[in-house]
Amino acid sequence: MVIAKSPDFEVQGTGSRYLDVDKINKSLDKVTDNGATYAEVRLVAYTDYSVSMRDGQLERAIPGQEIGATIRVLADGAWGVHSTTDIASLEQQMNPTLNLARSVAARRSSKDRAISLAEVPIIEDSIHWKPKKDVRNTELSERLEHMRLFNSVASGHDKIVSVNCGWHDEHIHTEFLSTEGMNRTWSFQRSLINGMVTARDGSDVVSYRTRFGGEGGLELIESCDIDELGNNAKVSALRLLKAKRAPSGKMPLIADRDLTGVYIHEALGHPCEADLVAAGDSCLDGKLGEKIGSDIVTVIDDPNIRGGYGSTPYR
């Protein structure tokens, strides 16, 4: 057995672990002795809660808890990958994953380059972004209280015909061990409330979406002015009913913070995805170190800045 805690064990951000580190390391050493160039184990334990409401009525409330792990083995310049929810079987799956890597390598085209790994710092750490209020301890009734407040504020006009409201929170705990000596564990939470307000005037129908959330526990939602969030969504939907269609063509653009984030995500975030670059499908392929934008634009991606929905405790 390589699991130190059952999947029912609640990781409270104290450094507790699911995996038996000694047994996993012995398994990694063994697969290296059997010919692997490199091997790793990554475990993720995921607890979440999703709620949806339409026009003040609860539609569904779905709590969830999952745990799974992935083994990656590099041998003969090719990857073997095995993913499972049977954490106790990890020890037995090392050699089959090694054999898979060798099978992939044997079928590699002469045009394909053998895989090798870059030199990276070897880190041993445990980082837990503990929230002020663990969102897993939140009752459904409390979630619904916030959502009903949004609904009541956003629906206060005769031209508002529908209000949808959603809630999602999650606790993510990750453990990572490798033959290079990596030994990392981290955890954090995300909490989010969102809404869509639909307005109608005759045959004209428009919808406005809004949300509030990011990295953090229940305290994040409690810091939100739900009245303001709902009222802004209502006012924005009503304004859209009277809005003129935007003209086409090139012109100066004034964008707020949220919209700017969307532009950066689409124009720069997706092209930076490693799989797109490796496949040659990215417009940034081969441009590392080159200037790719305006002199007045600087983009810095730092996931360690807490509070954002994309914030993570690691780089």
pLDDT at 2 over 90: no
Would the pTM count as exceeding 0.85? yes
pLDDT the model gives residue 290: 92
Domain ranges of the chain: 21-243, 252-315
User: 21-243 belongs to which homologous superfamily?
Assistant: PmbA/TldD superfamily (3.30.2290.10)
pLDDT the model gives residue 315: 74
Phi/psi zone of residue 170: left (φ > 0), alpha (ψ -120 to 50 degrees), beta?
beta
Assign 67 a pLDDT band (cuts: 50, 70, 90): very high
Q: What is the pLDDT of residues 95-120, one digit of tens each?
A: 999 999 999 999 999 888 899 999 99
The residue ranking higher by pLDDT, 180 or 297, is: 180
pLDDT the model gives residue 261: 86
Lowest mean pLDDT among 101-110, 144-153, 255-264: 255-264
CB 3, CB 10: distance < 8 Å: no
pLDDT the model gives residue 59: 98
Assign 299 a pLDDT band (cuts: 50, 70, 90): confident
